[in-house]
Chains A and B, each alone.
Chain A
Amino acid sequence: MNPLRFLLPAALAAAFVSPASADTLQFKDGRFVEATKIEAAEGGYKIIYSSGEIFVKKDLVVLAQLSDSSGNYVPQNDEEKAKVEKGLVPFEGKWVSKADRDKTVKKRSDDAKKAMDEAKKHQEWRDRYITETAHFKFEYTIPQSKCKEYQELMETYFNEFTKKWGIKTDAKTPKLPVCFYHDDELYYQVSGAPRGAIGYFRFVPPLDLNFYYDRNDERLTLDVMFHETNHYLTHLLNPKFDYPAWVNESLAEYYGSSTWDAKAKKMTVGNIQEGRLVVLLDAMSGDEWQGLEEMIRMQEFSALQYAWGWSFVHMLMESKKYSAPFQKFYVALSTDKNVKRVPYQGDMVMCEPDEVIRLLKQYLGIKDMKALEKEWYDYVKTLKLVSHRGYEDAAGWAERWGLRIKAGRYYKTAVEKGTQNPLTYDDYGQWLMNNNETDEAIKMIDKACELDPMNPYFYLHLGAAWIDKGEKEKGDKLKKLALELDPLDPQLAWQVNGFKIRKK
């Protein structure tokens, strides 16, 4: 507890109070939206801006603090007139005294404000929630209900993995701090991770695990959690051993694609890492194959090697012939006394690539690495994209390489397969606009707005689509609405107004 908080309760409280006139919503992903006026509407809330209204579906919202809208009731008939004359007012289907109604409304308003203040407070890292489970100490800024899902999942993962891989832990094993941030911005800020490193496990003291909640793609959040937790679980095999990147990262990627059935509390492993598969498809289209021995000898792994490494481990783990011996090989690397290890950093040890290859051959019962490499290549050729996530990644890849027609097909497939990623709908909408399919584009971008109503770029693109359709006034208004959502983003302003020139 920070001693300053005892000293300064009034000042701190003041900092959390919104302007008197502001209404507030908290989204399930942890974001807050404040606006001068937010109204309850059928199925959700309307946020009123000067350039237009934004509808937010109720199921996106976890908390709402709306200003009191009580007013004098106008009686509709004599009976009602009599009740009004007695000082009664209609309230939620009943006639109650005005004082009782006002008291109830005030209490609700106070409770909502208290809940909102509490939620906002916990988005500051200094006021983060801290909850301990059997094996982890969770420190987090996302809503508690969301974190609870991950707590259950990680405990299940811990138990299943340690059982399957024969990892022994005892009561003395300290609980691992898990720092779970409500968005990428806070994650990068507090964790200190370099841009692009979307999660990490710190394997030297003080140990901790860091990742964030991606509101557009929760599957990615799960991937990262499974991946980084796998590093921790592997670390438990022998904390002083530095696993070679090719097998450590690749096994983490294998587990990264696990799925979780929250109701049955069941984990399924071995799914296809479709983002990685897209990278492989790209490499294969350019006839660029990764040598197996070369990969095993690499010290550092790039995105390309993550993809190749994952596919190799996927083949081994999913093969009846290789699965058990590969797992034994993996454990032996760090625990078998007969394995030759050399000093690494500090008091850590590692295996030289020659020793790793020797051990891999021994456990898999193979003599020729080239034959294993061929088997691997043949296996990779059989892998196919299946889900909307794979097609989303593939569409992005195709667009980057100028494969416009292919990108359109991939976007369409991702939508047909039921993606709930608003960015995909927006990207596809823009693709459709470029393909002169304006009506369909508007439908797609509308869907993006429905899924993430607070992204200003969606309104910018929607405005452009309406202008394309010939409704300039409507389009301009939507663009202005985009700027109201984020008036300080120069890229947005640049796109809304055309570019800005600072004269020489």
Chain B
Amino acid sequence: MTALRRALALVPVLALGAQISAFSQGLCVDKGNGFQFQPPKDWTQVPIQVEEKWIATKWLCDRKYDDKESGYTHNPLMRVIIFDKAVVNPGGGDADSGGGEAGGGTVKPGDVIDLSRPYVDYKDYLKRNFRDGGFYISAEKDIKIGETPVKMLEVKIEKLVVTGKKRIYCWIYKAEWGDLAIECEVLEQFVDKLQTTVMNSFKSFKLIARDPNAKKENVGGGPKIKVVDPNETPEQQKKRRLEVEEMMFKKAIADLPKDWTTKRTAHFLVLNHAGTKYQDKVIAHAEAVRTWLDKEFGDIGPGYVQGCILRICKDRDEERAFGSSSGDSWSNDSRELITSESKDGLNPYEFQYLGRGVMNFFFYDKNSELYSALPTWLENGLRGYIGTAVLKGGQLQFGPDDSEKTRMNDGAKKGKFKTIRDLLNVTQKDMFGGEDGQYLYAQCASLIRYLMGPGRGVKKHSTMIKDYLKNLLAVMQENEKAARDAVKAAGGAKTEEEEEEEFKKRKKQDWSAKEKEFNEQIFKAVFGSWTDADWAGLQSNWEKFAK
């Protein structure tokens, strides 16, 4: 007997009012979206993402279930998803309006062109959002609970499922203003065991009057074009980013379940569900990296570095459940790093991820053009250098981790390294296209360690990174101008032959072909005056350091 059948058998004989009163404690009530239900006992509420527009609440089962087929574990997850007609019908306009106001062809700074495609209903949501294996609706049934029409669905997930076959139960309540879907995903192997728990929660679901004052703000996730003034001053940019920061922070706090804590630090909004000790460690590390970045690279651009959310989940299961969202819950305005406390020691890279994340946002906000143009050796070197930093006694220590040490040793033995001179000209393809990527990555990090460490005591090497960044920007601007001129000049071909010629020239402008040339230009600008002896000196110093 399927769970749906059992549930159907029960519905007519149960008075829903009686169920609600029986679950009067721990009820999940959402006045903004107009529903309430009783989540299963020992399931924990998981926050929703700041840009989330569809999922109203998520509850994660505290217990893990082992899938015997795949060897993976799985925690059932229950969600309520809202399909408000005013949102489903794009822009809330008529069906043929396409949504929003007619633009009339002119845009101005501050305008946002929304390119999102709202989910029409739960089935559409599944089709466009579900990515954890092939699925199909295995059963469906329309019923009424009280006066409310309800569609009951069973979804089977059978093909190419990494974590073992699964099933989704979903009941869709039809309100006048739209649909409210409560769904729960369970491993197929545990359907019999879990169905009563799941169905009891579903049956407790009830529509209540919506309170417009309780409606959460929509911070606009999904694809969109934001029109920004090309002549925006750093002050204007800062003001704009501060507004976004404020909006994101406010929404993140509003969405937090009750047992999460919040804390503002100099550069972060910290949302914590882990132990206080772990939280303090995360904050200290993130702040130390950020302070170090300000000191070392604060002058690479005028951009205001937007405040960032540090979200610390209690474990990886909660982190995964938090990340499981509707497809358009993302935004280029987002500055959020998510980590979780590992009690089993299985996620040793959390602080690497944290350091690199802080670095990415910092470089991007300070000078996005420069950041996007960082050459392979410098970008990967910095990632390795900052990623492996460890905070000890309030100070960041930039020693290599065990993995880098192993690669350096093996790389030296196998002769996998390039000369420093060649390394500075290496392209992305050169580095990762062959079999030696891991060694070259370690070499880049090691070179940065030298330049940021003992190399500072050598005049020629002490300003190498700074000089490189300065020249990188100049070369990039020069190239951009050349590319613009080329675009202006192009398009005048009258014959296929002329067109072919233009094509060949353009192909050379393509980044993959251009990267080497670009590296050489910067190389010439920075190291044009270096002699063979200078290179030999750098090579020798680095080799001694790297031993």
Binding site for B on A (CB under 8 A): 2-5, 7-8, 11-12, 14-15, 124-126, 185, 189-193, 202, 208, 210, 285-286, 401-406, 409, 480, 483-484, 487-494, 496-504
Contact = CB atoms under 8 A, between A and B. Distances in A.
Contacts of A185: 127
A356 B491 CA distance: 48
B161 A124 contact: no
A11 B101 CA distance: 41
Contact of B98 (A192, A286, A493): A493
Contacts of A484: 96
Contacts of A125: 136-137
A499 B90 contact: no
Contacts of A192: 133-135, 157, 159-161
A126 B98 contact: no
A498 B133 contact: no
A491 B4 CA distance: 38
B96 A483 contact: yes
11 contacts: A3-B2, A191-B160, A208-B159, A285-B504, A403-B499, A490-B99, A490-B116, A492-B98, A500-B91, A500-B102, A504-B110
B99 A500 contact: yes
If over half of A's interface residues share one DSSP class (helix, strand or loop), that class is named, otherwise mixed; here it is: helix
B137 A490 contact: no
A483 B103 contact: no
Interface string B340-368: 00000000000000000000000000000
Contacts of B143: 11
B397 to A, nearest CB: 37
Contacts of B107: 499, 501
Contact of A2 (B89, B110, B139): B139
B117 A489 contact: yes
Contact of A190 (B95, B98, B159): B159
Given A403-B500, A405-B493, A498 B134 contact: no
B176 interface: no
Contact of B91 (A2, A210, A502, A504): A502
Interface string B137-169: 111111100000000001001011100000000
A490 B96 contact: no
Contact of B90 (A190, A409, A493): A493
B111 interface: yes
A484 to B, nearest CB: 7
Interface string B91-113: 10001111111111101001111
Contact of A500 (B5, B114, B159): B114
B190 interface: no
B495 interface: yes
B115 interface: yes
A124 B136 CA distance: 8
A409 B500 CA distance: 14
B98 A496 contact: yes
A3 B4 CA distance: 11
Nearest to A504: B110
Contacts of A497: 97-98, 102
Contacts of B98: 483, 490, 492-494, 496-497, 500
Contacts, number: 154
A488 B89 CA distance: 7
A190 B506 contact: no
Central interface residue in A192, A480, A501, by most chain B CB within 10 Å: A501
Nearest to A126: B138
A501 B506 CA distance: 34
A280 to B, nearest CB: 16
B139 A493 contact: no
Nearest to B120: A488
B160 A193 contact: yes
A129 to B, nearest CB: 14
A126 B141 CA distance: 14
Contact of A504 (B105, B111, B127, B504): B111
B159 A402 contact: no
If over half of B's interface residues share one DSSP class (helix, strand or loop), that class is named, otherwise mixed; here it is: mixed
Contact of A487 (B96, B100, B506): B96
Central interface residue in A3, A191, A192, A409, by most chain B CB within 10 Å: A192
A378 to B, nearest CB: 23
B101 A501 contact: yes
Nearest to B151: A15
B210 interface: no
B145 to A, nearest CB: 15
A371 to B, nearest CB: 25
B135 A189 contact: yes
B545 interface: no
Interface of B: 1-2, 4-5, 8, 89-91, 95-105, 107, 110-118, 120, 127, 133-143, 154, 157, 159-161, 490-491, 493, 495-496, 499-500, 502-504, 506-507
A191 B127 CA distance: 12
B134 A190 contact: yes
* Across the A-B interface, the 9 shortest Cβ-Cβ residue pairs: A493-B98, A192-B134, A500-B100, A192-B160, A125-B136, A504-B110, A487-B95, A4-B139, A501-B103
A285 B139 CA distance: 54
Given A125-B136, A125-B137, 18 more contacts: A4-B4, A15-B142, A124-B137, A190-B135, A191-B134, A193-B134, A401-B506, A402-B506, A405-B493, A406-B496, A483-B96, A488-B89, A489-B117, A490-B115, A498-B102, A502-B111, A503-B101, A504-B111
Contacts of B101: 500-503
Given A4-B5, A484-B96, A189 B127 contact: yes
A7 B502 CA distance: 68
Given A210-B159, A402-B503, A490-B116, A2 B5 contact: no
A500 B113 contact: yes
Central interface residue in B90, B114, B159, by most chain A CB within 10 Å: B159
Contacts of B95: 487-488
Contacts of B1: 3
A406 B501 CA distance: 12
Contacts of B499: 402-406
A501 B115 CA distance: 10
Nearest to B110: A504
B104 A498 contact: yes
B90 A405 contact: no
Given A192-B133, A405-B493, A483-B98, A501 B111 contact: yes
Nearest to A4: B139
A484 B97 CA distance: 10
A2 B8 CA distance: 16
A5 B102 CA distance: 47
Nearest to A401: B503
B175 to A, nearest CB: 20
Contacts of B506: 401-402
Contact of B507 (A189, A286, A404): A286
Contacts of A3: 1-2, 5
Contact of B103 (A4, A11, A189, A498): A498
A200 to B, nearest CB: 8
A128 to B, nearest CB: 9
A488 B102 CA distance: 16
A7 B105 contact: no
A250 B103 CA distance: 50
Contacts of B490: 402
Nearest to A297: B435
Contacts of B154: 4
B239 to A, nearest CB: 13
A193 B160 CA distance: 7
Nearest to B490: A402
Contact of A126 (B137, B160, B491): B137
B127 A493 contact: no
Nearest to B510: A286
Contacts of A405: 493, 495-496, 499
A404 B494 CA distance: 10
A401 B503 CA distance: 7
Nearest to B143: A11
B112 A501 contact: yes
Nearest to B162: A192
